[in-house]
Amino acid sequence: MVSLPVPGRFAGMMRAIAAWRAQTHADRELVIVLHPRGDGRDRAESAIAALGCDDIRVIMPDAPMSLGALRNLAVDGATGDAICQWDDDDFHHPDRIAGQLAAGTAAFRAATVLQDVMMYDETRRTLRWTNWAATPAGGHPGTLFCRRDHMPRYPDLALGEDLAVLERLRDRSSLNLQAGAPHLYVYVTHAANSTSPEHRAMLSESLSISSGLLQRREAMLRAGLAPFDFGAGAVRVDGANGPAFTL
């Protein structure tokens, strides 16, 4: 498993670790790469050590590296037969690993990526079901689950490294596009995202399904999103053409 904490996002890192520990798939490990920049690395290392988990390992490079190079460090440090990208600022459902493993196996593909994910705007406290089928990757780039023997190297890029990997897997016909399970991954948008607010707004608007479809799938979404803690207050589920319902 792969997690890549960014300096200054301690709370997100701890939330991602908690989500990994809550996974229903038992045979797993977490490899965490702590970026050398910033003054939060010692705090992060201490917090991870305090958990006392033998199946969580930390890699600490000595010099700044691109995100792609950091991801390769995590992949190289993992010992399992499969790699699952595990970003530190998003929400992961307890069944994410088990669900993606089962989908890839059933489709006879070496890798799987979620075609549908929920998109959560922390500022507006809104959720949208987004479908990534028409994007270059065909799915959300942060949701890759791939057998180690088919895992491409990430390019040495600061942005877009995960998209490049998905495109290579699609070119090899190794990628399964897993539709209909948006609850497995909640993509969180906030002020510290690496992409611009305009880009995130474009994705939210252009990829959202309609409020009518959301209302027909309300019961399924309520059940799927039940494990997530969005904090105090209501969260509105919006469609491309307006609000659908409130959690």
The dihedral formed by the CA atoms of 237, 142, 27 and 71, expressed in degrees to the nearest 10:
-150
Does the reported pTM lie above 0.85?
yes
pLDDT at 193 over 60: no
Helix count (H) and strand count (E) of the chain? 8, 13
pLDDT at 183 over 70: yes
Q: State the average pLDDT over residues 229-242.
A: 94
pLDDT at 4 over 80: no
Tokens found for residue 208: 């959202």
CA–CA dist 62, 189 (Å, integer): 30
C-alpha distances in Å from residue 110, one per residue of 72, 79, 130, 178: 18, 17, 24, 13
Supply the range of the domain harboring residue 8: 2-246
Q: State the average pLDDT over residues 6-16.
A: 78
pLDDT at 194 over 80: no
Mean pLDDT over the full length of the chain: 89
CA–CA dist 112, 138 (Å, integer): 11
Band of residue 39 on the pLDDT scale cut at 50, 70, 90: low
Q: State the average pLDDT over residues 223-235.
A: 95
Q: Domain containing 74 — which CATH number?
A: 3.90.550.10
Q: Which pLDDT value is given to residue 160?
A: 86
239: closest CA among 155, 118, 104? 118
φ and ψ at 58, to 5 degrees? -115, 135
Q: Which pLDDT value is given to residue 180?
A: 95
Q: Which pLDDT value is given to residue 159?
A: 85
Q: Is the dihedral of CA 42, 46, 47, 51 positive or negative?
A: positive
Percent of the chain whose predicted confidence (pLDDT) is above 90: 69
Number of separate domains in the chain: 1
Percent of the chain whose predicted confidence (pLDDT) is above 70: 90
